[in-house]
Amino acid sequence: MGIFVFLPLILPLTALPMSRFAEQHLHPRAAARLLTAVAAILALCSTVSLVLLVIVGTAQLPGNPLPDSWSDPEVREAVPCDEIAGKVSIGALALVLLGWGSTVRRHFRYRAGAHRALAGLRTASQIAVLTDEEPYAYALPGASSASGRSGGRPGRVLVSTGMLAALTDTERHALLAHERAHLAGRHHRLLLAVRLAGCANPLLRPLREAVGYCTERWADEEAARATGDRRTTARAVAKAALLSARAASGPASGPTSGGVRFPGLAAFAEAGPVPRRVAALLGPVPPVNGWSSALTSAALAPVVAAAGTAASTLSTLNAAAGLFVVLEAATFG
C-alpha cells in the first residue's frame, strides 16, 4: 500500500488548473457536468483513503472492536507514519461526515422552508411573482411529497415585482428563460455535489466556484437561445446582477412573500463573475458538439481531468487491495 494511500488526498490539487481550462474552452454544459463528475470521483477516492487510514489507526487504540491481529507490526508497516496518519485521519473523517450531514440538512431545510412559504400562492404557473420592491429572481428546486415519492412540489421560478419593474419585456423574457434553464438542467444537484466534494477534501473547493460559474453560463446560453438575442440576454444578466447587488447591500436582503422572508435561496445558485458572463454572451456561441483536437488547448481540460481521476482511482484501488491482503494475512496467517 505505502505512499499510494496518500495520493488520492493530494491529487485534487489538479482541480484548480482543470477548472480554469474547462471554463475557458468547453461548452458550459459540458464543463459543468465534467467538473461535477470529477469532483465526485476524487471526493470518493479521498474518502476511501481516509477510511483505509482510519482502519490502521483505529486498530492501535485500546478497547477497539477490531481483531487484535490488525494492530500487528506488519499491518502498521503498510502505512508510512502509521501512528500519526492513523490518528489524524480519524478526526479528518469525522469532519467529513459532519460536513456532509450539515450541508445536506441545510440544503433540504432551505428548500422545504421556501416551499412551505409559497404554499399560500394559488397559482399553477411555474413562475411565482412575489409582491416585493426588492429586486431578485431565483430558481427554487422541486420537493418530493410527504410520502417521499416524486411528484410533490414542482420547481418554481421566484421573481419579485421589483425586479420585473426594472426590466423591459425582452429582458424579462431572458431573465425567466435563464431561471427556467436552472430548473430544467437541475443545476442545484450539481452545486450540491461539488459542495459535498469540498467537504470531503478542501482541495476540491475551487470546483464549487467553477461549477457555479459554468451553470450560470449554461443558463445564460439557454436564455440566449430562447430569446434569439444574445445582446438582450447580456443586458438582462448585467441589470439583474446590478440590481441584486444593490439590494443585497441594503439593511435587509432576501426574497419575501407576505412578509415571510426566504432564507438561503442563494444556496441553489451561484451568480458567478458577471462581467465574464456578459463578455461571453457578447461573443460567439460556444460549440456544443464534437471533441476538440488533441493538439488544442480545449482538449487539455478533459485530459487533465481524466488523468487526475484515473490516477486517484487506481491509487485508491491499489491501496485498498494492498490493505486487504495485509489484513487477511494478519488475520488468517
Q: Which of 80-84, 266-270, 285-289 has the lowest mean pLDDT?
A: 266-270
pLDDT value for 191? 94
Give tens-digit pLDDT for 130-181: 888 888 888 888 765 554 454 567 788 988 899 999 999 999 999 999 999 9
d(CA 236, CA 223): 10
What pLDDT does 150 receive? 45
| The one-letter amino acid at 57 | G
* Average pLDDT of span 50-68: 69
Q: Which residues contact 246 (CB under 8 A, 6 or more apart)?
A: 135
Lowest mean pLDDT among 88-97, 125-134, 203-212, 235-244: 125-134
Q: Where in the chain are the domains?
A: 2-285+297-332
260 or 89, greater pLDDT: 89
For the ranges 89-98, 229-238, 240-249, 275-284, the lowest mean pLDDT is seen at 240-249
Check residues 142 and 280 and name the one with the higher pLDDT.
Answer: 280
Summary mean pLDDT of the chain: 79
Distances 280 to 24, 177, 228, 232 between C-alpha atoms, Å: 10, 17, 15, 13
262 pLDDT above the threshold of 60: no
Q: What per-residue confidence (pLDDT) applies to 73?
A: 64
Do the Cβ atoms of 239 and 167 come closer than 8 Å?
yes
CB proximity list for 80: less than 8 A, separation 6 or greater:
2, 3, 6
**Stretch 88-93: mean pLDDT, rounded?**
87
Q: Greater confidence, 119 or 213?
A: 213
Model confidence at 259, pLDDT cuts 50, 70, 90, reads very low
Q: Please report which confidence band the pLDDT of residue 113 belongs to, taking 50, 70 and 90 as the band edges.
A: confident
- Buried-state track 135-174, b at ≥16 Cβ within 10 A, e below 16: bbbbbbbbbeeeeeeeeebebbbbbbebbbeebeeebbbb
Instruction: Tell me the pTM.
Output: 0.81
pLDDT at 183 over 80: yes
CA dist 327 and 333 (Å) reads: 9
Higher model confidence: residue 19 or residue 200? Answer: 200
Phi/psi at 38 (5° precision)? -65, -45
The confidence score (pLDDT) of residue 122 equals 60
Q: What DSSP letter does each residue of 36-90 carry, written as one string?
A: HHHHHHHHHHHHHHHHHHHHHHHTTSTT-SS-GGGGSHHHHTTSTTHHHHHHHHH
Per-residue pLDDT band at 63 (split at 50, 70, 90): low
pLDDT confidence bin for 79, thresholds 50/70/90: low
Q: Output 87 or 90, whichever has higher pLDDT.
A: 90
The predicted model gives 191-214 an average pLDDT of 93
- Is 293's pLDDT higher than 60? no
Percentage of the chain surpassing pLDDT 90? 33
The pLDDT of residue 214 is: 93
Tell me, rounded to whole angstroms, the distance of Cα 269 from its chain centroid: 10
Q: Regarding predicted confidence, which is higher, 205 or 52? A: 205
Q: pLDDT of 299-324, one tens digit each? A: 566 677 777 778 778 877 877 777 67
